[in-house]
Amino acid sequence: MGWTAVRKIFAEAGQLLNQELEVRGWIRTQRESKNFAFIELNDGSCFKNLQVVYSDKLANFATVAKFPLGTSLKVTGTLVPSPAAGQPFELKAEAIEAIGLSALDYPLQKKRHSFEFLRTIPHLRPRTNTFMAVFRVRSLLAYALHTFFHERGFVYVHTPIITASDAEGAGQMFRVTTLDPKSPPLDERGAIDFSQDFFGRETNLTVSGQLNVEGFCLAFNKVYTFGPTFRAENSNTQRHASEFWMIEPEIAFADLGDNMELAEDMLKFVIRFVLEHAPQEMEFFNRFIDTSLLQRLQHVVEAKFEHVTYTRAVELLQQADMKFNFPPEWGKDLQTEHERYLSETIFQKPVFVTDYPKEIKAFYMRLNDDNRTVAAMDLLVPDVGEIIGGSQREERHDVLKKRIMEMGLKVEDYEWYLNLRKFGGAPHAGFGLGFERAVMYLTGMENIRDVIPYPRTPKSAEF
RNA sequence: UCCUCAGUAGCUCAAUCGGCAGAGCGGAUGGCUGUUAACCAUUAGGUUGGGGGUUCAAGUCCCUCCUGAGGAGCCA
């Protein structure tokens, strides 16, 4: 590259001052007077813009002054101290040349746009401050997670996107098929004959890599998956998308306590990592998106997470001086309002709720000695809600088989999964972290559609 | 899927009881010797989400559909 990144200019301004430089980027804003003008140039390497100043000494001064916002530029000039307040230095241009002109109907203006409008132009919104910050943090968070696990000896496992079984018996799935929807082959009973489908059976997009990764856990001990998952639920909320990413670690010779310790360490590590590596972006979020963000994250990094059993949580909610739309009751799942009250009012920090009634949890969760609860845990965080869900897995072959049958699932579908308990089974545990929810938690963004580059939600899969 | 709210210029929003559809920003044109979402002046820009109805008259009231948002459920 024959040009200098703006990130480098900000980092090494001292050495670069009074030197001739070339930069390339896009016009964020432009302010012109009769004899001189200013361009705020962003090259994507850094959150901040570089101010370019040019005068009518440039032969093409009038032309450049007419460049629409969004135009991509090549600028050569000298880095000089800025005489005006607002920026420590600026590039005094000796030549400015358009690489790609923008059209006059460029939709991004020098003013605040609503997030709703920006969702209609997901291909252009990364050129705004907020989305540039969001997607840099998203990228950094992925890197932080990989770093955390690799430093601890975890193996990254790529579980399949196309699956043959429904992992948890919960959640609508997207069917994967090459059959002609207008005239699918039928069997003798008139049902669709999936034996003639591409894979010779019914297949779907994955809703979780957990069951698959358990096999690798019982070989590598410490493993994780990190990839896209798909849910065909018709849920319309700020926190749900049809396509989202999940991180699912799984550790062997471990119980629920080890699992929670891992979750807490992971969350604290990635928060510290992002605070350290994206200070400008985080400062921006704290200023314009959520003014209590940095304080809250700092608090989480320093706090010891709370632990409370489901049974105790229900008691606390029943004793609370608070009128709930749904009265808390043992045996029923916690409502969103209950979860919020626990994390935001009672504990005011992340809290693990553990040992849920077996009836409301998945079949693979380990049955406790009381025979009525399972070794499950949900991590509830203020403002975002459930961010992690996990459990110690049932390692006892007979108990697991019994649970599969109790839940009305077909044992033959889970033969391979039962096999893991037959051939050298071991206690193991794991959890799932919703990647987008973590991004929301770290940025203060309130809508999941604003932390996914091209979000997919019910009735919405444009671009 | 259910409940609630909303849809007016490219964007963000006004429009009183049903009575001539407006402003700021953005665009165009001109002015301005250091701007910081620059400033000043002029100007263009509308099938008020689609369809139907009530009325002398509908952006406004009614029906319906579409789209978006918030909440609930489901969950991560």
Backbone angles phi, psi at A375, to 5 degrees: -80, 70
The whole model's pTM is what? Answer: 0.93
A377 in contact with nucleic chain B (CB within 7 A): no
Return the closest nucleotide (C1') to the Cα of A243: B76
Q: How far, in Å, CA of A71 to CA of A348, rounded?
A: 47
Nearest to A418 by CA among A432, A399, A431: A399
Which pLDDT belongs to residue A169? 53
CA-wise closest residue to A459 among A119, A141, A186, A202: A119
Which residues does A164 contact at the CB level (< 8 Å), separation at least 6? A199, A201, A202, A203, A204
Distance from residue A89's CA to nucleotide B70's C1', rounded to whole Å: 44
Q: Which bases on strand B have an atom closer than 7 Å to a protein beta carbon?
A: 1-2, 10-13, 25-29, 31-38, 67-76
The tens digit of pLDDT for each residue in A176-235 reads 999 988 888 998 898 889 999 999 988 999 999 999 999 999 999 999 999 999 998 888
A 53-92, residues with C-beta < 7 Å of strand B: 53, 66, 68-69, 82-87, 90, 92
pLDDT score of A349: 87
Quick check: A102 and A27 in contact, CB under 8 A? yes
Which residues in 300-329 of chain A line strand B, with CB less than 7 A from it? 326
Q: Is the CB of A129 under 7 A from strand B?
A: no
Give the residue nearest to nucleotide B1 (CA to C1'): A234
- DSSP letter at A68 equals P
CA angle A259, A260, A262 (to 5 degrees): 65
Residues A299, A275: Cα–Cα separation, whole Å: 13
Residues of chain A with pLDDT under 50: 167
CA distances from A135 to A181, A322, A328 (A): 37, 38, 38
ipTM metric = 0.88
Q: Is residue A227's beta carbon less than 7 angstroms from any atom in nucleic acid strand B?
A: no
Q: Name A residues 344-373 whose Cβ lies under 7 Å from strand B.
A: none
Q: How far does the CA of A330 sit from the C1' of B67, in Å?
A: 41
Going by C-alpha positions, the residue among A294, A306, A352, A360 that lies closest to residue A333 is A360
Distance CA A242 to C1' B1 in A: 16
Read off the tokens for A191.
Answer: 């049902």
What Å value separates CA A44 and C1' B6? Answer: 35
Bridging pattern class, strands A89-100 and A385-392: unpaired
Nucleotide with smallest C1' distance to residue A49 CA: B36
CA A452 to each of CA A67, A125, A188, A437: distance values in angstroms, whole numbers, following the listed order:
31, 11, 45, 10
